[in-house]
Structure 1
Amino acid sequence: MKNYLIIFIGFLVLVSCDDFLTETPETQISVNQFYETPAHARSSVNALYRSGAGSWYNFSTSYWDGVDAMRSGYLSGLVEHPESRVGVQVVKDLSLTPVNLSQWLNSVWSGHYNSIARANLAITNIPGIEGLSEAETNRLLAEARFFRAYNYFNLVKNFGDVPLVMEPVEGLSGIFVPRDNAETVYQQIIADLEWARDNGGLSTVPFPMNNYRVTRGLVETILAEVYLQMAGFPVQGEESMYANAAAAARSVINSGEYELIQNGPTPEQSAYNVIRNSQVEREYIYDIEFNANISSNPYPSLVYPRSSRAPGVKYTDGYNAYLLTDEYINFFDPEMDLRIQNQQMFHHYYETEGGEQVEFGEHAPYLWHEDAAVFETGVGSNNLHALRYPLVLLIAAEAIARTEGVTSEAVGYLADVRDRAYWQTDRSVIVNQLSGLSEQEFVEEVWKERLRELALDFKVWDDVRRTRKYPTSSESNPGEVEFVDVIGATNQRGVPFQEKHLLYPISSDEIQRNPELTQNPGY
């Protein structure tokens, strides 16, 4: 914790109040000197958007290591990475330890706690700053509380019990903090999110229409995710957790501010191609902001394999770092499901100028394909749509089914998502198929749709963790998914999952620095 305190007191990077992507280096100043003006308050909160959990979707160190959020996909065995870097390889073959993954573990742990330290300082000091209106004070505090909660949510999902630090660390006393149990951490996450929702005066419009600042809908979406995660393992909260998840999701739905993008008349005008190209839509709940001139989007570099590049691709170091395995591809029905067809969510061939189709043998993420970046500039500028409205509909469908049964409301939310993908199937057919299912059968249909619709949202291992069920498919029957117990199931390399793999180890470096820390079982 001393390291995090020193890092923050230096306040190495401050972000301007109008543009999170513009970095304004400052000389080192003390905390008391820094929190004096409204500009200081705004900068301290703006910095949270690009640190810790706010940087979870950025490349950790380089193209070769992928994005932090991708590691859970590699751990699931359902997503491949073509390179053999040690930090990726040990995750893919389940040989990760507190030592051989220490570099990445250190980066994640320190990055999140540094962001939490910043949030704690902002929450403590902003109320005393003169010149801020009450409304702006509450909004800034709500944003700081949101990011503190968001950081802890990432930590508790990935590491389980973690130290809960809620006050700024002053001096060297109390810097060694033991782990708090996961349920206590979750309760604090909920408290922060509820405070932000109830007291922040946050805008109700979607994130990109609010100048890419935290909105009420974003807070309630994360709150719904938190309750859904708590309802499952390891907390196994009461049924009320599902009811609370349903309530939070319904609040987003009933706000009337969000809607699914609809398909146009041709595949080229599909909703997925709108998502790929359009920056401002009512489907987007949380975007990671990029700008070609300041902080460019690296994702377009990942849309072709290195070994079979389309002619004219401008990236020299790009490759498909998030490669769906055959097992994952078979979760989709290739005939009915638009998402798996070429140049929708994914693509597997390109056409030359002469009209020749060149197969490259992989399903690469087409949702990240930015035409100008790939073929003209080599610099991406589109935002990453990290959380979208289908997530809310699927949370609502599952949570309602768990607490109220397979109601027409629950069926309708799941049908909304599936109907867009099965665009040549009448919606009434989908509704009829879902309406006659038992509770468990229906919930598993929701899990299947999460696998498909959220395939590029890095949710797969979160779902395995909370359900303790591992999805399997069959090449002879694509579109069908079976769920088996994850413990004892084998990944695509034939290595069986153990209980310990559901959490990451805590880095051996962190345990040496903080004698109060204990290691996760099995490591």
Structure 2
Amino acid sequence: MKRNLSFTFIIAAFCTLGCNKQLNTIPKDFISPVNYYQTEGQLNNALNGVYDPLGLESMYANGLLTYLSYGNDEGVWRASGQVTGPMVYNYDPSEANINNLWTAAYTGIGRANLLLDNIDKATAVATATRDVILAQALFLRAYYYFVLADNWGGVPLRLTAAQSAEDVDLPATPVADVYKQVVKDMETAEALLPTAEQWGPNSGGRVSKNTAAGILARVYLTMAGSPVNDKARYADALKWSKKVIDMGFNQLNADYSQVFINHCQDKYDVKESMWEVEFYGVKADAYNEVGYVGNRNGIASNNIDFPGYGYAFLYATSKLYKSYESRINATTKVEFSPDERRDWVVSPYTWNDATKTKTFLAVTATYDRFPGKWRRDLETNLPRNKNYSGVNFPLLRYSDVLLMFAEAENEINGPTVAALNALNQVRRRAYGKLKAGATNVTEADLTGLDKTTFFNAINAERMRELAFECLRNHDLKRWGLLQSTLKEFAADIKLNAPANRKFTAIIGDNIQDRHLFYPIPSREISLNKAIKQNQGW
């Protein structure tokens, strides 16, 4: 995607030199906090460095995209011989992907702390300009802590830059207190940030006031659920999701598939896709800001030029495919889904490598399908690279905000008209009822639900709407349903899946109570003498 931010951050190096009297001058080209953070350009370079970890392979370029967000009941690991790793709940504190995510998050935090500690040195920069930069750094630091708390629970909470390489002994702060700091920083940032409309139409990679409010709703819903279980936070989730809605700027794209086509074709739609991790280029150019979106979480292919190479690490599950409504055309007797999401989220075809054409799957082939949200044949940034793509990845969409509002409203007030309206907006778009000329626009609306059945509808709708956006495990954990859901899923696999797909039941066989949180990485345990290992590890 087009870069709004050029990630060219200069990391200051600190060293002590033994010198004689002839070598005691201060070098004019040495960059450190003493002589940096002076100009708007320097502040923006530092801010770019704070954004940068989002696009690292250890975060959304690969780690969170594949290894660390699956398997679950929407996506399972494709390799039958894969019996170790986080995707099959068989790992230990030395697991590289877990270590790398921890390091990436703390890298972002460290860079944010450096910028926040030094931003007031830029006295020649207008206060309003500094405030917007400060707000983004503060929000991003909070977001990295949110990732850490969501995955590890209590973690060391460092709010200023480390003073030396030996400054590493820091105990874990209880998870509830980490979240309190997260929302404090995010709310401070939200008050200072421009709106998405003020940022402009190509600003999906920047944090806006709209995005901050939407992510705050996500954080508060997390706090309301397991393991914090602070039910009073549902009111805060409702407040912040409602604020996004009441701004009146964000709206659903009438065509669900177009949201993801836009990602593939370097187009922004900040009304729907509110915040994205920005990737750009084909690795062989000067940008070097690429990820694996559509490659490792897409449709298998061995052709680089067309449709584009697909490692396809994941299968979409039969459960996900069958969760979308299915009907039989009365005239043709052909099965179809009136829910337009099904055949976009779960690919209805595979690629014939010999002919470079699509082979459409039989309706009964529910265990042989790939995720289809991001399709490499739609990429416009050419020539394609075998391993990488420049396709952006969404961190927050407006449909998620509507579903969070509906969930919070139901928890506080039950399935009110407002809750049903938010849920049904998402469903109407799914059934094509927001498109020009649509008829029978209330066809897909849900009605007559009580509080429990409304929650169950939210559970199912979030999986259908947000599949492969790295939110399913997060949702199941905060609902306290991760282990039970995966064990039920595994039981169904053993009973109903064909023999060559029964291996996917491994996730239900392996998952235990301890998998609610990752283990503290071995490297952190060895360096930080004040931290203790998470329970069960």
Structure 2 residue 267 is matched with structure 1 residue 279 = yes
| Partner secondary structure for residue 296 of structure 1 | coil
| Residue correspondence of structure 1 range 117-516 to structure 2 within 5 A | 117-171=110-164, 174-201=167-194, 203-205=196-198, 208-210=201-203, 212-238=205-231, 240-263=232-255, 273=261, 277=265, 279-281=267-269, 282-292=271-281, 293=285, 294=287, 295-302=289-296, 306=300, 309=302, 313=306, 315=308, 318-334=310-326, 335-341=337-343, 343=344, 346-350=347-351, 357=359, 359=361, 362-371=368-377, 373=379, 377-379=383-385, 380-423=389-432, 426-431=440-445, 434-470=446-482, 471=485, 491-516=505-530
* Percent identity between the two aligned chains: 26
| Partner secondary structure for residue 239 of structure 2 | helix
CA contact (8 A) 1:76 1:491 kept: no
> Relative to 1, partners in 2 of residues 1:230 and 1:69: Cα closer, same or farther, differing over 3 Å?
farther
The Cα shift of 1:345 comes to 5.6
CA-based RMSD of the aligned residues comes to 3.3
Alignment: residue pair count: 474
> Which residue of 2 is the match for residue 93 of structure 1?
88
CA contact (8 A) 2:75 2:468 kept: no
Question: Any unmatched runs of 5+ in structure 2?
Answer: 14-30, 327-336, 434-438, 493-503
The Cα shift of 1:324 comes to 1.6
- Counterpart AA for 2:253: I
> Which residue of 2 is the match for residue 6 of structure 1?
none
> Relative to 1, partners in 2 of residues 1:310 and 1:426: Cα closer, same or farther, differing over 3 Å?
farther
Higher relative contact order (CA 8 A, sep 6+): 2
Structure 1-normalised TM-score? 0.81
CA contact (8 A) 2:105 2:148 kept: yes
| Distance across 1 between alignment mates of 2:165 and 2:290 | 39
More helix by share: 1
Q: Quick check: 276-285 or 419-428, which moved more?
A: 419-428
The Cα shift of 1:125 comes to 0.9
1:377-427 deviation per Cα after TM superposition (whole angstroms, max 9, x unaligned)? 214344223321111000000001111221111101100111222237944
The Cα shift of 1:497 comes to 2.8
> Relative to 1, partners in 2 of residues 1:27 and 1:138: Cα closer, same or farther, differing over 3 Å?
closer
| Distance across 1 between alignment mates of 2:303 and 2:525 | 47
- Counterpart AA for 1:248: W
1:359-381 deviation per Cα after TM superposition (whole angstroms, max 9, x unaligned)? 49732233211425499621434
Question: Any unmatched runs of 5+ in structure 1?
Answer: 1-17, 478-489
The Cα shift of 1:301 comes to 2.5
Q: Quick check: 510-519 or 68-77, which moved more?
A: 68-77
> Which residue of 2 is the match for residue 483 of structure 1?
none
1:487-516 deviation per Cα after TM superposition (whole angstroms, max 9, x unaligned)? xxx955551532101111111221111111
CA contact (8 A) 1:344 1:367 kept: yes
CA contact (8 A) 1:160 1:181 kept: yes
CA contact (8 A) 2:7 2:45 kept: no
The Cα shift of 1:159 comes to 0.2
> Relative to 1, partners in 2 of residues 1:323 and 1:344: Cα closer, same or farther, differing over 3 Å?
closer
- Counterpart AA for 1:226: V
Q: Quick check: 246-255 or 206-215, which moved more?
A: 206-215
1:174-198 deviation per Cα after TM superposition (whole angstroms, max 9, x unaligned)? 5310001011000000100110112
1:68-95 deviation per Cα after TM superposition (whole angstroms, max 9, x unaligned)? 3433432536422334897x83223322
CA contact (8 A) 1:415 1:427 kept: no
| Distance across 2 between alignment mates of 1:215 and 1:276 | 22
The Cα shift of 1:27 comes to 7.6
> Which residue of 2 is the match for residue 73 of structure 1?
69
Greater Rg, structure 1 or structure 2? 2
Q: What is the aligned counterpart of 1:111 among 104, 109, 116? A: 104
- Counterpart AA for 2:184: A
The Cα shift of 1:211 comes to 6.7
- Counterpart AA for 1:299: V
| Distance across 2 between alignment mates of 1:462 and 1:207 | 31
Q: Quick check: 326-335 or 280-289, which moved more?
A: 326-335
| Distance across 2 between alignment mates of 1:502 and 1:384 | 25
| Distance across 2 between alignment mates of 1:506 and 1:75 | 21
Stretches of 4+ aligned residues off by more than 6 angstroms: 351-356, 472-475
